[in-house]
Amino acid sequence: MKKAGRPLILFVDGPNLNVLGTREPEVYGKMTLADIRREVTLAARREGAVTDFFQSNHEGEIVEKLQEARGRADGLVINPAGYTHTSVAIRDALLYAGIPAVEVHLSNPSSREPFRRTSTIEDVVVGRIAGFGGFGYVLALSALLNHLREAGGVAGR
Ligand code: DQA
């Protein structure tokens, strides 16, 4: 862990988030994933954090990334996208990682189809941010860093 230095926050995005910007922009907004990462990187710099970004359309790759994060990342911001509502494997990997996590969604799944109202990770994350488009990732970063400072997970901050 890099507790002595700047906290490392891992951002994990699930399927179809690589096509943000052109994917149902009326639901998910016009920001691309690259736009979101740029905003997050700037915010992280201001807050003294380091970022790592990962996106995959494959459940197993997300599971592997979460396993690798154990003991390496200080915090996690995750949007499992469609897997939010189905994946026991991602929930299990999150528990294995043992890292404070924030669940983020661009849209507000609770105000959409009934099948989007459940999340397999909602009870194992620190908190959830939904409905604020790409800005939700910046909010999640800020909330997570505040949580880590309060929990004493980041030395000297
Ligand atoms: C999403 C919401 C999910 O229901 C959907 O399957 C997604 C994106 C969101 O960010 O709003 O792919 O996670």
Q: What is the CATH number of the domain that holds 105?
A: 3.40.50.9100
pLDDT band at 152 (very low <50, low <70, confident <90, very high): confident
Q: What tokens does 131 get?
A: 């409905």
In a domain, 17, yes or no: yes
Q: Is 133 in the pocket of ligand 1 (CB under 6 A)?
A: no
Which pLDDT does position 4 carry in this prediction?
Answer: 56
Helices vs. strands in the chain: H and E counts, helices first? 5, 5
Do the domain assignments include residue 2? no
**pTM to 2 decimal places:** 0.94
Q: Is the pLDDT of residue 112 over 70?
A: yes
Residue nearest ligand 1's atom 13 by CA: 81
How many residues would you count in the chain? Answer: 157
Which residue segment(s) compose the domain that 109 sits in?
8-150
Domain assignment of residue 122, yes or no: yes
Catalytic site residues? 28, 105
* 104 and 36 Cβ atoms separated by less than 8 Å: no
Q: What is the pLDDT of residue 154?
A: 60
81 close to ligand 1 (CB < 6 Angstrom): yes
What residues contact residue 59 under an 8 Å CB cut-off, 6+ apart?
Answer: 83, 87, 89, 90
| Ligand 1 nearest-atom number relative to CA 17 | 12
Q: Which of 106, 117, 122 best tests ligand 1's pocket when mutated (most atoms within 8 Å of CB)?
A: 106
